[in-house]
Structure 1
Amino acid sequence: MQTEWEQKDLFESEAARSLLDQLLSDSRLYTRTKDYKELLDFVVRLRNFAPFNAMLLQVQKPGLSYAASTWDWRERFGRTPKEGARPLLILWPFGPVALVYDVMDTEGKELPQDVSAFFAQGSIDENRIASFVPQMAKKNIECCWLDTGDQKAGAIRILERETKDKEPTFYRMNINRNHGAAVQFATLAHELGHLFLGHLGSDPFLSVPKRAAMKHAQIELEAESVAFLVCARNGVKSKSETYLSTYVTDNTTVNDVDLYQIMRAAGQVEALLGLSAHTKYDRPAGKSR
């Protein structure tokens, strides 16, 4: 099972970035707006994998509906890979890779009528929002509940930036206390997206990368992409989907957004809030539990 930060640490290497860049270049995928939105929808649907791994699966097998490890197919669904089934590769902590299988390459018990609901999380309520506060505090993000009007959802800013390497930077997250829990969750996802995308600057303590300056439009598109993924993967419908549909024009290509950073940031937001789904695997021979 992936621990909170193991999921994030999977992708903290130039090798992972190079792998993604090569896959995108060679496959010539996601050069159109429609393809990009379909990718986001796929990552939402495959809730049992970290966003980055879900994207790797979609790149390897476009049109894939659902995938799972041999352990999950056996223990959770009563199914096994078919003889000669072609496995798909993902990154994992015991690495360097793990094998998973497309649902069409398995056999056994009948699947639930709506297999996607198996991985879906319920709606977010006030108690769940409250549970995120100590989670963020552990990473030096202070929550401040503001009594403001409907047009002010929230924002994140730096309170104190440390100058020493690997020392923490302190942040303040402002949230409109008058909004409902679903809106507050979308706000958290969007603002934390800005943080982990490096829009506030680098933070070695949180493994936030240093990135080149971007236009406001690109910054908001990336943050809304993260918010859409985190919300939809956790049972919250937000305005992000409408925003993306109207904001992303036909001229948008993969060069206008950094897919690597978006998937990485979405996984980090989920890990920080304790929302990470866990796919289980059979340990490699010789590995102790």
Structure 2
Amino acid sequence: MDFGEVFEKKMPKAIEYASHIIMETSNFIDFAVALVDYMDEDFIPYCKSVYAMLRSLDYPTVTFEKDDELGDITPDVIRKEYHNFLSQQEKLAREKEFKENIDELQFLVKSYRDSNEFKKMLDFIGSFPYLAPYNAMLVQMQKPGATFVLTGKKWAEYGRQPKLNGQKLIVLKPFGPVQCVFDFEDTEPIPNATEVMEEADLIKKYTESLQQAQGDLDKKKMETLVSNLPVYGIYLDDNFLAANSYGGYIMPYHDQKLKVKIDKDYYMEVSSNFVISVNKKQSNAVKFHTLCHELGHLFCNHQCYDKRKKRKLTLKEEEFEAETVAWLMCKRHGISNPSEEYLASYAPKGEIPICSTELIMRAVTEIERMMDGAVSVNDSMWYKEDAAFKASINAQRQKLKRSRQTDLFGNRIGLD
């Protein structure tokens, strides 16, 4: 589109918009970015022309920059500033979405502010470890009293199918958007099925395979959990001595060196971000509970890698969320739970503190992932949320990659 076409088709619209924004911008760059955002990037070469037209009009409160002051501002400069503006807007949009999600969930949880209702929800989530924590919460919200839910395909393996008008429950699908599941109550035996499993048998099948005897702790899962702490920047101080009633704490701590696996068998030494201290006097089950409680503080954003994400909560609200995480972890993994009375103390009048159920479920999900197997550094929250740590890891990987390069004769040509 040549200048004549631009002048005829786009310029009137640009001048009209420019006449509104000129009063709100303090310099030409801000003016140009706002104008390009309204028109599109193709309009960048014409920003100075519009600015010159407005300068010839009467705007008593506007101090225009002169042509000689704009000499170094080329279309490429405007384009760069515009792209910086878009990046900043995207960043703000992500932060806004985060805050709105939290606010919305805090509003939704008011229906569960009654301590009895909240306890029912936790009992459901804790009693069915075959369901991901967040999905269990969604099921309980959609159908309070649901007992056992599976997809239609999974029900067919047990000789059952959804009823014609069975209630569909929406849950999140791994690596996808959503999927439908059905409660046992909304299924029926498949005609002529060779074997039809009943509810009691199903629950027994799942809970026996996933839960340990009450009070026992799966040693391997605990060891896996502890082994994953370094990729989250956490130094575990398990020699902490205190009164038997004291569990432990989490706090920022950068003085301990941790080894983090970044490539095949290569480990990089990094400074810690946090320390979790666990009372040495406690039993293994209580140590597990304490570790989950302190991780709950981190994953619920009471402690943060990125300070901008730290939430403004009271100590009571923080403790309630962290203890709920610990309670659910113990419940879902068959460990005697020391949290019952502790949580009840937060609702003396039958109403719990406002809390983020989403972050509680995310925390439980993250801890369970840490118990299931080795978490790569790229998948850890530390790598995802700490830009400086991510940059240092990637820089070391590049250096390592170069050090492994060889010339035509097989000689190393990389850095030492």
Task: Tell me which interval the TM-score lies in, with the shorter structure as reference length.
Answer: 0.7 to 0.9
Closer/same/farther in 2, CA of residues 49 and 23 from structure 1, 3 Å limit? farther
Question: Hey, what does 2:250 align to over in structure 1?
Answer: 156
Task: Decide which structure has greater helix share.
Answer: 2
Question: Hey, what does 1:61 align to over in structure 2?
Answer: 143
Paired residue for 2:331, among 232, 240, 244? 232
Question: Hey, what does 1:113 align to over in structure 2?
Answer: 200
Aligned-residue CA RMSD (Å): 3.2
What secondary structure does 1:174 align onto? strand
Inter-partner Cα distance in structure 2 for 1:19 and 1:153: 29
Q: Is the 8 A contact 2:121 2:140 kept in 1?
A: yes
Identity value in percent: 31
What secondary structure does 1:265 align onto? helix
Closer/same/farther in 2, CA of residues 66 and 133 from structure 1, 3 Å limit? same
AA paired with 2:235?
E
AA paired with 2:274?
Y
Closer/same/farther in 2, CA of residues 94 and 60 from structure 1, 3 Å limit? same
1:44, distance to aligned residue in structure 2 (A) = 0.9
Paired residue for 2:343, among 244, 247, 261? 244
Residue deviations 1:194-214, cap 9 Å, x none?
A: 11011113x35xxx9814322
Aligned: 1:88 with 2:169: yes
Question: Hey, what does 2:227 align to over in structure 1?
Answer: 134
Q: Is the 8 A contact 1:198 1:209 kept in 2?
A: no
Residue deviations 1:232-288, cap 9 Å, x none?
A: 0111122112211233222525x622222222222222222228xxxxxxxxxxxxx
Inter-partner Cα distance in structure 1 for 2:240 and 2:253: 20
Inter-partner Cα distance in structure 1 for 2:372 and 2:296: 15
Inter-partner Cα distance in structure 2 for 1:151 and 1:230: 20
Inter-partner Cα distance in structure 1 for 2:277 and 2:293: 12
Aligned: 1:264 with 2:362: yes
Inter-partner Cα distance in structure 1 for 2:128 and 2:233: 30
Closer/same/farther in 2, CA of residues 147 and 95 from structure 1, 3 Å limit? closer
TM-score (norm 1): 0.75
Question: Hey, what does 2:66 align to over in structure 1?
Answer: none
Closer/same/farther in 2, CA of residues 243 and 172 from structure 1, 3 Å limit? same
Aligned: 1:33 with 2:126: no
Closer/same/farther in 2, CA of residues 102 and 157 from structure 1, 3 Å limit? same
Inter-partner Cα distance in structure 2 for 1:236 and 1:20: 32
1:113, distance to aligned residue in structure 2 (A) = 3.0
Closer/same/farther in 2, CA of residues 92 and 13 from structure 1, 3 Å limit? farther
Paired residues for 1:87-236 under 5 Å: 87-108=168-189, 109-111=196-198, 113=200, 115-117=202-204, 118-119=206-207, 120-122=210-212, 123-146=216-239, 148-149=241-242, 150-160=244-254, 170-201=273-304, 203=305, 210-236=309-335
